[in-house]
Amino acid sequence: MSDVSDVPPEPRHDDGAGAPPSGEGLPGPATPGAPEGAAAVPEPEPERALSPLTMVTAPVSYLKSFIVPLIAALVAGSFNPWVLASAGAAVAAMLIGGFVTWRTFRYQVGSERLEIRRGLIGRSRRSIPLERIRGVDVTSHLLHRMLGLAVVRIEAAAGGGGEGEEGKLDAVALAEAERLRGVLLHRRAVLRGDPAGATLRAAAGAHTGAPEPGGTAGHASGATGATAPAETVYFTMPAGWYLYAVLSLGYLLTPFVALATVLGAVGQSLDDLTSGTDAGDAVLLAYRWASTMSPQALTAIAVAAVVLLVLMMPLFAVVSYAVSHWGFTLRRRDASLVIERGLFTRRSVTLEHRRIRGHEFLDNPLERLRRVVRLRAIVTGLGDSTTRAVLMPIGPRSRVEPVVERALTPFRGLLTPHPRAALGRRLFRAVVPFAVAAAVAAYAGLTWLAVPLGAVALLGVPLGYDRYRALGHGQDGAQVSVRSGSLRRVQPVVHRSAVIGWTWSQTLFQRRSGLANVEFAVGAGEGGYTAVDADFAESVAFAEGVTPAMVRPFLVTAPGPADPAAGRSRT
């Protein structure tokens, strides 16, 4: 039994994007003169069950966990009648489990809570306050898509620290999933007093084809003539963008990941099949087979395998990237951004605008050569943000920036470059360790090791310069931005009002150079973003310009100089 109602209310940040001020957000009496039902809490919905097709999807889900042991048992048992009977009993148990899941799983959208009940012998009940809901995602796996079903995942501001879902409905009809998402977000907005509640009310009525209490079908909050807003499509992924996967180091390594997975599965199967026998026989047989071949033949096989993997890297990268991002679409629906993508598993992620604190650009050296970039949102309370917060896949910056103009708030300021002393630190870290190791290897006569270490040290020179050129920080009055990195360059852009704290840190060598790492804390994304090796005095002035009320109490004016600014000592 799980109840998240005892968790303190989620902190609220007024970022100027329509979030209500302190003291608002709870339902209260209707405002005099407001349309009837505008502030009324909707009535509870009737209790609902999952789709009857759960009797198909649930056994298949169970089967995925037991398919390897079942096959191993059948093969190892040489089709022994007892083994066949055990396998049949396991399949029958899965079918019964699917039937029990369908008969016992119930959910109900109440006035203030989402209730989920399940179980026949060991019963559980989960109660999720609607005002704590952070997101509602709709996912359709291949089997679900074939059957017209979807999985609804509900995240709330409790339980798991934002890293796990609070509720999961597997599986409901696709139309019911979309209706449920609209209803949950609408009721959450009503309970929190969100101004977007009227818009979401219209959307909920549009999904159901019937009015919410206090309104009419297709009208917002009972206001005559107010219809549900049409969706705005910001971006649909062109087919040519799938080729940009060859610029991503992660996708280029797909063949090696697949090979490791296959070898692991084969090794596990061999362990299952050789249990109770001499497993060393298989290894001895492989060794005898290899010993019959000449060293030249073994070398040729190894080289051919490596060449084949290298040639397959671009192909695997494009295929795996296309499977993950097929039909990538970014649109605005009501007061949220909705991202849909995926070929076999279609995933729909909803990010409310009120929870978006900014965005970040990411790229690597290969992507910079083609002037392409990735776009990701900085969102409060979002689990698995590396995949769920992706707003744009790898694409030309000239196409990504117009989307930021339309869907988000672009950064219009300039980044202040960091002092030349930061260049020395970048070069030292990229060159000196490998140069020293190469010198030691050469002195020891290990030429085969000294040569590659020396090459890495030489490559560290352009790497150090590139890392230095990436450093910068700035603000435009509304947003704050920092940038760092080379092999993985990141430039976050955060709303000024989302900054909740500052941290300065200095090593001994940084103090001697007048440098510091200054981090501004944000209750979203990674929690904080750092300007690396910035000028200490300039970084304090930068922080004061961003959040003066927060920083000025810690500034001390030293007596002496006539110019107050010159006599100010920042600590």
Residue of 201, 242, 450 lying closest to 334 (CA atoms): 201
**312 and 209 housed in the same domain:** no
What is the rounded CA–CA span in Å between residue 338 and residue 334? Answer: 10
pLDDT of residue 158: 57
- Taking CA atoms, 494 is separated from 343, 358, 414, 523, in Å, by 32, 4, 14, 11
Domain for residue 512, yes or no? Answer: yes
Which domain-ending residue is among 381, 407, 433? Answer: 407
- pLDDT single digits (tens) 204-230: 444 444 444 333 333 333 333 334 456
370 and 514 together in one domain: no
Do 466 and 355 lie in one domain? The reply is no
Question: Could you tell me if residue 136 is inside a domain?
Answer: yes
Show the tokens assigned to 23. 């003291």
Q: Residue 244: pLDDT above 90?
A: yes
pTM of this prediction? 0.76
Residue 388 pLDDT more than 90? no
Q: Is 300 within the bounds of a domain?
A: yes
68 in any annotated domain: no
Write the CB contacts of 483 (distance below 8 Å, at least 6 apart in sequence). 415, 470, 471, 472, 473, 489, 490, 491
Is residue 99, in this structure, part of any structural domain at all?
A: no
Among 231-245, 258-272, 416-430, 434-448, the minimum mean pLDDT is found in: 258-272
Across the range 545-570, mean pLDDT stands at 68
Question: 360 and 470: one domain?
Answer: no
Which of the four pLDDT bands, split at 50, 70 and 90, describes residue 506? very high
Q: Which of 468, 464, 474 is nearest to 494 (CA)?
A: 474
What confidence score (pLDDT) does residue 435 get?
95
Whether 180 and 298 share a structural domain: no
pLDDT in tens, 18-70: 443 333 333 343 433 334 444 466 788 999 999 999 999 988 887 776 666 66
Q: Give the mean pLDDT of 144-151.
A: 93
**Could you give the number of structural domains in the chain?**
4
Pair 149, 17 in one domain: yes
| Boundary-marking domain end, from 277, 300, 325 | 325
Say if residue 523 is in the same domain as residue 488: yes
- CA nearest to 247, candidates 420, 404, 373: 373
**CA–CA gap between residue 19 and residue 194 (Å, rounded):** 7
Q: 194 Cβ partners below 8 Å, 6+ apart? A: 18, 20, 25, 188, 200, 335, 354
User: Is 183 found in the same domain as 44?
Assistant: yes
**Are residue 263 and residue 212 in the same domain, yes or no?**
no
Residue ranges making up the domain that contains 354: 329-407
Same domain, 134 and 269: no
Q: How high does pLDDT run on average in the chain?
A: 80
Choose the final residue of a domain: 325, 346, 380.
325
Of 40 and 192, more confident? 192
Q: Crossing angle, helix 295-325 and helix 254-273, to 10 degrees?
A: 110
Whether 64 is in a domain gets the answer: no
Q: Is 73 inside a domain boundary?
A: no
Average pLDDT of the residues in 299-323: 87
Same domain for 485 and 502, yes or no, is yes
Say how many CA atoms lie within 13 Å of 232 toward its Cβ: 10
CB 117 within 8 A of CB 106: yes
Classify residue 369: in a domain, yes or no.
Answer: yes
Taking 80 as the threshold, does the pLDDT of residue 503 lie above it? yes
The reply to whether 277 and 337 lie within a common domain is: no
The better pLDDT of the pair 469, 301 is held by 469
